[in-house]
């Protein structure tokens, strides 16, 4: 599964992290713990074990979001998404060990009337959100070594 490449807002980013893949994966996939290390997330609850079809609810910037895990390949890839506040989001995360560390790649698409109403602001909001997530994931993982 991939993002919706025809969506009006698409952001793709990469970051190399100097921490064990296991640490990065654990931080990223222990949904209930997100608020402990990611200040952009107020609450997060995974309903059941992490698996394809699992649903998790989280709040950020006053928005309550419910997403479903669509694909899961442990320590390699996770895809989630769904509708939230008129926006359909699809988010792909990939993790690859390299000679320089762990390459974390993220790409997300947003579609829907709120996105189309203000493309520039929505693109900026998504990009800033993903940059912040990558930075705090990197910092947290690297400080755990």
pLDDT mean for each 10 residues of the chain (145 residues): 97 98 98 96 97 96 93 98 96 97 98 97 96 98 91
Residues contacting residue 38 through CB under 8 Å, at least 6 positions apart: 133, 136, 137, 140
pLDDT given for residue 62 in this prediction = 86
Q: How far is CA 6 from CA 3, 117, 122, in A?
A: 9, 16, 15
Q: What is the pLDDT of residues 10-41, one digit of tens each?
A: 999 999 999 999 999 999 999 999 999 999 99
pLDDT given for residue 61 in this prediction = 86
Q: Which residue intervals of 30-111 are DSSP H helices?
A: 34-37
d(CA 76, CA 25): 8
Residues contacting residue 140 through CB under 8 Å, at least 6 positions apart: 27, 37, 38
């Amino acid at each position: 599964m991939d993002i919706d490449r025809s969506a009006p807002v698409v952001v793709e980013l990469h970051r190399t992290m100097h921490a064990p893949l296991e640490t990065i994966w654990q931080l990223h996939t222990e949904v209930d713990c997100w608020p402990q290390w990611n200040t952009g997330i107020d609450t997060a609850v995974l309903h059941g074990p992490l698996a394809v079809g699992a649903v998790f609810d989280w709040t950020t910037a006053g928005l309550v979001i419910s997403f479903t895990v669509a694909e899961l390949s442990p320590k390699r890839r996770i895809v989630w998404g769904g509708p939230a506040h008129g926006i359909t989001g699809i988010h792909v995360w990939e993790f690859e060990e390299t000679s320089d560390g762990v390459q974390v790649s993220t790409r997300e698409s947003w579609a829907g009337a709120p996105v189309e109403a203000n493309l520039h602001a929505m693109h900026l909001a998504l990009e800033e959100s993903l940059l912040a997530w990558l930075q705090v994931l990197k910092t947290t993982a690297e400080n755990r070594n």
